[in-house]
Amino acid sequence: MINAAIVGLGWWGQNHVTATKGSDKIKFTRAVDLAPEKVQGFCDEHELTLTASLDDAYNDPDIDAVVLVTPHTQHADQVVAGAAAGKHILTEKPFALKKADGLRAAKAMTDAGLTLGIGHNYRYGAAVWEMKQIIESGKLGDIHHIEGNLSHQGQIGIEGWRRAHDEAPTGGIVHFGAHIIDIMCWFGGPMREVYAQLESHILPADVGSVLTRFENGTTGYLANLMTTPASFHLQVMGSEGWARANGWLDTNKVVTCFGAGKVEESGGVTEELELPIRDIYSQIRANDENFAAACLGQEPYLFTPEEMAHTAAIHEAIAKSAESGLPTAV
């Protein structure tokens, strides 16, 4: 069991605490929030010691790990400070928005011998997990293309730091496209080049799309709209078949199609797999508990520091491409 502090008790920070209630691997005992009067009731309910200073968490000898649900541009400095304080750190996505910041933060934690975590809980979702296993099995053959779209209207009417240009220079590509970027790299490896476009309709940069090319030659496409009802699409296409998930991020169904390359089966043979349901809270708990077990040396963590740093480089390249209108190296 590790004792953890949660920093930032907005909606998502509270989800971490709620999702891990009763866990035998991680327990939140301290909270940090810049508006403590607004979250005192929640902290009383969950028996959290509440202060407004991050240093209180870093200086507390009873705290093993710190979970950061803070503005994106602050992550790198906060991770580096956490490494200096000897704390394991899990930070919410995106890890960082600049390549140099991502590398700096990852190096600080690695050099300190501490566990670094990231809030991409969707890797632990039923459909995404199953698609990864299908890829690893080799049933799809050589992977040629990956595409994903994660969209919703949740930012309409929302004010605050999440809507600031510095925190989301590519709009929804930062907010929810970050999850698709992580999944695509988990499936296809590092990206080499991106070609992005943004459009504004209701909110700044509320429609974004990115063509990608991976280091291994696989191509891809990702998109996000902040102006349409909730929608999720993920598809991996290979030389021997494809796998696809649709719906929302707690979907437990995957459709596969095999038979590519056979003239008599040019349409392929499809099958729908129905998996045990793993809702969003279950995904958050799975991520936080995997992180906690890694902190104790009990199991490997599903993410590597190199993967996290690479996503920061991707976000920077997407922003540069959208501004220049040109393909941009990662």
Q: Which residues pair with 247 in a beta bridge?
A: 232
* DSSP E strands, 17-127: 26-32, 49-51, 65-68, 88-91, 116-118
- What Å distances lie between residue 317 and 100, 107, 119, 258, CA to CA? 12, 20, 21, 35
Apex 225 CA angle, 13 and 190, nearest 5? 75
Apex 75 CA angle, 248 and 122, nearest 5? 20
pLDDT, residue 259, reads 79
Residues ≥6 apart with Cβ < 8 Å to 6: 13, 16, 17, 28, 30, 31, 32, 48, 67, 69
Q: What is the mean pLDDT of each run of 10 residues along the chain (330 residues)?
A: 96 96 98 95 97 97 98 97 98 97 98 98 96 97 97 75 83 94 98 97 93 98 94 96 92 89 66 94 97 98 98 98 98
Q: Which domains does the chain show, CATH number per domain? A: 2-121 (3.40.50.720), 125-283+311-329 (3.30.360.10)
Q: Three-state SS for 20?
A: coil
Answer yes or no: are the C-beta atoms of 187 and 144 closer than 8 Å. no
Residues ≥6 apart with Cβ < 8 Å to 258: 139, 240, 241, 268, 269
- What Å distances lie between residue 209 and 66, 198, 222, 291, CA to CA? 33, 7, 6, 31
**Torsion sign across C-alpha atoms 232, 246, 123, 57:** positive
The reported pTM is 0.95
Answer yes or no: are the C-beta atoms of 140 and 134 closer than 8 Å. yes
- What Å distances lie between residue 276 and 44, 125, 187, 243, 252, CA to CA? 34, 10, 21, 18, 6
Q: Three-state SS for 59?
A: coil
pLDDT, residue 161, reads 67
d(CA 116, CA 105): 9
